[in-house]
Every structure is written in C-alpha cells, then in structure tokens.
Structure 1
C-alpha cells in the first residue's frame, strides 16, 4: 500500500473489497450446497451433538464486535486476542401489589408479591485468536500514510520490503519441514482414536467434501468470474501466479 498512489490504492481497495465479499458469499453458498448433498457427518454418534452447548448470540452484538475488532486498542493484544461480547446473568426482582376484595364488601386486603427473573446482559470480553481484521485495517491505514510521506517514508518502505523478504524465506523453510511435524501430529491423533474405522470413514467423507468444494470454487467459479470480468483466458493468469497459490495452499492462507 505504501508503494501505491492514494487514488490508485483507493480504487484498488474498493474493487478488492467487492471481489472479496462476492467470492466469500459464493464460497459459503457452495459449501452449504456440497454439505447438504454429501452429508459428511452422517453416521456419527447421536449423543455427540447433544453434548455441545450452543451459545445464543445477538446479531447486533455480533455486528458491533466486528466494528470493534476493526479498531483494536492494542496491536500486541490484537496478535493473540480479539474482542467478543459475552453474556452474563442478572437477577431482576419486580415488586407487585395485589388488591383483593371479599364478597363485594368495602374491606380489602393488599398483598405484596416479589417476582424474580434472570436476564442476560452483554459484557465486554476477549477470546483467544488473532484479530486479523484489526491488523489488516491498521496495516492498510499505516501503508497509506507512509505512501503519502513520499521521500520521508522511503526508509520505512525499504524496511518493510526487507521484512517481507525475510518472512517469505522463513515461510519457505517452514514449508519444507512442515510435513514431518504434520506426520507426527496425525500419528498421535490416530493412536488416541477408539474406533479407527468409524473415525476414518468420517474423516474420509469430510476430506472428500472439502476437496470437492475447493475444486468447484477454484476450478469453476473463480476462473468463470475472471473470464466474465476481463474477457481473458483465466488459466494463463493462474499459471503466472502458480507459485503464490502453492505457498497459500501450504500455509493455509487465503
């Protein structure tokens, strides 16, 4: 962002936002359709789902959490935690006065009743996880400021270019040794399984579902969108960014 002109980066950012929202919506819709067709969780134990507690979340609070996470008060904390509204319980006591009249007489009695009920109240909280949205918003704003500084920001641009190159080399090293660690992680989980046949079948169906969804989205939908927008061969473009795609696949990056 620092290397781009502010007007060009603004147009590019708006187009990127529209593209991201569109492809995300299509990906969610595709995933739901594939899951409904394949049913990867079919055959699992019925009591497994009953043990999970579903937390009720207000749509308004979820949207406000999204806004709050866009502007983290602490960047270091944003690397490990993100804001999330939690719900506490509060007991509310209501006092009611009941008038009673006996046999249409003038004598009446009053009875005071107290009714207590519990209500959920939103409480600010934190959950473990990288606040990627806040970091991205800060990085974009910071990059735009550096870009407007012209020559004064050249030192920072050179620093972040060198930092990016160092991180890419580190990621390349991790990608070479990651399969060894993944092998031992999977082996440890396999040893802990009680019913290897049932778990293997469920994981197999889950893997097939994920692969089919990725193929539909990556081979059909995205190239079609590229062709509709640019009127160019999408596979020529994919061949040019093949190395970046392999890196994203190896690091589980979007």
Structure 2
C-alpha cells in the first residue's frame, strides 16, 4: 500500500477519494431523477394547484381595478365573460362527458354483478350517504347554536324569494326518477314552477273556449275551480292555485333545460340488471360498453390538461364579479366561519375517521390522491362536472374496485350532498337568529330533517343549495326574504361544500368496497 499527501491508494492503484466523489455524483444524480419522476407523475396536480393560486393572484387585483374604474354594468359583465371564457369551455368539456360516463359506468358496474350483489351495493350506498348526511346536519346545527353568527351579522336589504313547496320538491324528484322519455332525460327534467302573475304562465291548454282570450276570466276560472292536477279528465288544467301568506301563487309542472341525472341513473341501473340476466348472450354488449368506457376515460385524461387554465379562469371571473370583497365577507364573517368550520370537521375529521374505522389504514394517503378532484370541485363548484376527475382519482390512484367506483360515484354525485345539507342547516338557524326567532327542539328537528331531504333533491350544479334553502326556511316557518343576503357569498361557500361532497363520495367508495369485498369476490366477471 502506498500512502501520499494527496490521498490513500490501494495496492491496485484504485483511488478511494475518486470513489467517494463518484458515489456523491451518483447519489445527486439519483436524487435528481427521483425529483424529476415525482414531478412527471404529479405534473397535472402541480399545474392544478398553480392554477388555483394564480386565480386568486390575478383575480384580487383585477377586481380592485374593475370595481374602482368607471366601467358601466355592461362593460363589467363583458369583462367577467371574457375572463371566465376559458373556464366556461372547461366546464362544457366536463359536462360533455357526463352522460356517456354515467351510462357506460353504471351499466357495466351493474351488469358485472348479479342482482343480489347489486341490491346489497345499493343498500350499503344508501345507508352510507344517509348516515353521513345526518352527521353533517347535526354538526352544522351544533356549531351554529354555539357560535350564534346571526347575533353579530349586519342587516342587509331583504329581497322577495321565490316560492318553493316541500311536497312539490319531493314529487318532482320522484317524477325525475321515473322519466317518461329516455332521450329527454339527457337535457330536460321536471320541475314545478311558481308565478305570482297568471299571465306569465305560458302554454296553458284550456278546452273551454268561453274563457279564452280574457285574463280576468282565466284568473276567475282558476280561483273558483281548484282541482286535483293529477286527475285525468277533459276539463283538468296543469295549473293550480296555492295560497301563500294571503297571496295567490300559481303552480305549474314544467320541463326545465337541465339534465335529469336521476332518470339517467335509473334507466342505466335497469338496463344493467337486464343485461346481467342475459348471461353469455349479453357479452357483446358488455364488450362494446367496455370499449366506450375506455374511450371516455381517454377523453377525460385529455380534458384534465385544460383543468389548470379552466380553474384559474373560473376563480378569477368570480372574484372580478364581486362588488366589494372585503365588505361582503366582513358583514357575514361569523356565518362564513361557522359554515367553513362545519365543512372542515366533516371533510377532515368525520370522513377520515370513517375511512380509518372501516379499513384500519391511514386516510391521509387516500385523501392526498384525491387532490385533483378536490381542486376541480373547488373550481367548478359542481359535483356532476367533477365526476370524471373523481372517478379517475378513485380508480387509478387509489385502486378502488372499478365496479364499486362506477356504481357509487355517479349516484353520489347526484344524491350525496353532505356539504349542502350542513350549509342549509347553518343558514336556516342563522336566518332565525338574524330575525330574533327562538328555536326549540321541535324546530331543530324540523331543520335537521328538511335539510337532509332538501340536500338529496338538490341538483349537482352550482348554487343549487341556495334554491333548496328556501324550502328549508319555509318548513321551519322562517322568512325567505333573507336568502338574498347569502347570495353574495354563496359562490365561495358553494365551492367549499362541493369539495366536501366530492370527498364524501370518494370515501364512500372505499368503505362500500370494504363491506362488499366478499360479494365482489364471488363475481368472476370484473370490467376493466
């Protein structure tokens, strides 16, 4: 061995110092490769987070400029449209995929299981969604009674809210579950509309020619001829009179330009059950649907690259549209804090606890893999529009059984509105506190039940909870005119409760999969 001043050399002449330097270079190169691989694997998620941050960074100063400048209402509206245009295109692309995704996923999921297993999945899904909704409402009630945000809120100018009837809402939901036209379900749904003025009710078919052409005669006829609107006879009308607070409200069942997701789900489940019973004869149809589903998932992956720009555009547009952000949030600060606290408890404590109890695993990894769906829900404020992303995260990142994911998620995006139920309970008691009403145990129970029921009937679209809130207020005997003051912050709160709804759907998948593992194992066929 030869020792010199420059280092230690082995007898074979190999330089140990050179070896150490090479190891450091290899280590740094390996670290760089690892970092690069992490960035590549999570590139979409990183871009989505950047999009959310950029939305606030761009939106806040742009709001200050637009609102403080001498723009008229039309110019401001045009600016909002231009700023939010990319986001509008993004939401359109997501909604474009909803119908093929729901139909193919549910039909395949049901067709791959026998009728008995499908029934068990349905019961477990219903039990989970009902349980989490009731828990969310109870959390909201406890928080709003403890914090009492209505005692500190600033009074706003009241506006006249639309009439909403609880019975009509339930009947509308049942009508939509059983559609009369399969094609029409893709773009229309049944909804009872209410008008204070009979002249605004169009397409009234009246067989009696003696009362045609005269609004006074028509009004008198409707007032003096109350009837059962579901009776079938030659003189019945599809319009009826409702007495509401000493004023007359005209009600008519109409078709609204909104997708009937409940009807699509019902038809898909029935078609899947029939396909399952066909056995080998139905195999070609199953294979065709599998290919269609793969195509839809490929399109979803492509649309996801637009997600960062779309979310940035949507958040910026909503911020620009607000007249005075600081004043709005300051006047309803306690209400916002109460609703956010309830949503956070539901999303960060209740759901992870349910996950841990069911699976005995750390929920943080599962929730981390749902980040893309959460950010998309925050940007779009629509559970239905987020459905393609939610399905992608649950299947590909969290490895949930595809049959469970395809069955549970479309139903959850339609009926599981835990965040909405919590928000409506908080808002209802907030309005009571604002007007000096005392809520006893009876009123609280009514609030819990009506909030839970209203959330199920809420459409999976932006600000749908604000409409069903009117029903909750009327059930509790509270004035509906105060709904207007919540509208100024609803765009923000709607995004948070949508995130809560989406996380609840995702947790529901793994919980239902856990309790259905034996039944799923008994089925040999598993799509995709």
TM-score (ref. length: structure 2): 0.37
Q: In structure 1, how many angstroms separate the alpha carbons of the residues matched to 2:282 and 2:118?
A: 17
Call closer, same or farther: CA 1:196–1:65 in 2, change over 3 Å. Answer: closer
The corresponding residue for 2:265 is: 136
Task: Indicate whether 1:29 and 2:143 are aligned.
Answer: no
Indicate the SS of the match to 1:129: coil
1:69 Cα deviation after fit? 0.7
8 A Cα contact 2:356 2:362, kept in partner:
no
8 A Cα contact 1:223 1:234, kept in partner:
no
8 A Cα contact 2:153 2:332, kept in partner:
no
Task: Indicate whether 1:51 and 2:159 are aligned.
Answer: yes
RMSD: 3.5
The corresponding residue for 1:62 is: 169
1:225 Cα deviation after fit? 3.5
Indicate the SS of the match to 2:183: helix
Call closer, same or farther: CA 1:194–1:138 in 2, change over 3 Å. Answer: same
- Describe the superposition over 1:174-202 as per-residue Cα deviations: whole angstroms up to 9, x where unpaired: 23322212322333343343324324657
User: 1:222-241 residue pairs with structure 2 within 5 A?
Assistant: 222-226=351-355, 230=358, 232-235=359-362, 239=365
User: 1:44-123 residue pairs with structure 2 within 5 A?
Assistant: 46-47=156-157, 50-57=158-165, 59-87=166-194, 90-91=219-220, 92=223, 119-120=248-249, 122-123=251-252
Q: In structure 1, how many angstroms separate the alpha carbons of the residues matched to 2:266 and 2:362?
A: 32
Q: In structure 2, how many angstroms separate the alpha carbons of the residues matched to 1:34 and 1:176?
A: 39
Q: In structure 2, how many angstroms separate the alpha carbons of the residues matched to 1:119 and 1:200?
A: 36
- Give 5+ residue unaligned stretches, structure 1: 95-116
8 A Cα contact 2:140 2:342, kept in partner:
yes
The corresponding residue for 1:100 is: none
- Compare the two structures and name the one with the higher helix fraction: 2
Match for 1:126 among 246, 255, 260? 255
Task: Indicate whether 1:249 and 2:374 are aligned.
Answer: yes
Indicate the SS of the match to 2:161: coil
8 A Cα contact 1:83 1:126, kept in partner:
yes
Call closer, same or farther: CA 1:183–1:25 in 2, change over 3 Å. Answer: same
Indicate the SS of the match to 1:188: helix
1:70 Cα deviation after fit? 0.3
- More relative contact order in 1 or in 2 (CA 8 Å, sep 6+)? 2
Q: In structure 2, how many angstroms separate the alpha carbons of the residues matched to 1:27 and 1:209?
A: 13
- Describe the superposition over 1:16-64 as per-residue Cα deviations: whole angstroms up to 9, x where unpaired: 1121222222223334545563849x756601xx22423141x322221
Match for 2:296 among 167, 171, 175? 167
Q: In structure 1, how many angstroms separate the alpha carbons of the residues matched to 2:279 and 2:331?
A: 56
The corresponding residue for 1:11 is: 120
Q: Which moved more, 1:210-219 or 1:179-188?
A: 210-219
The corresponding residue for 1:190 is: 319
Call closer, same or farther: CA 1:171–1:52 in 2, change over 3 Å. Answer: farther
1:148 Cα deviation after fit? 1.1
Q: In structure 2, how many angstroms separate the alpha carbons of the residues matched to 1:6 and 1:18?
A: 18
Call closer, same or farther: CA 1:182–1:203 in 2, change over 3 Å. Answer: farther
Indicate the SS of the match to 1:124: strand
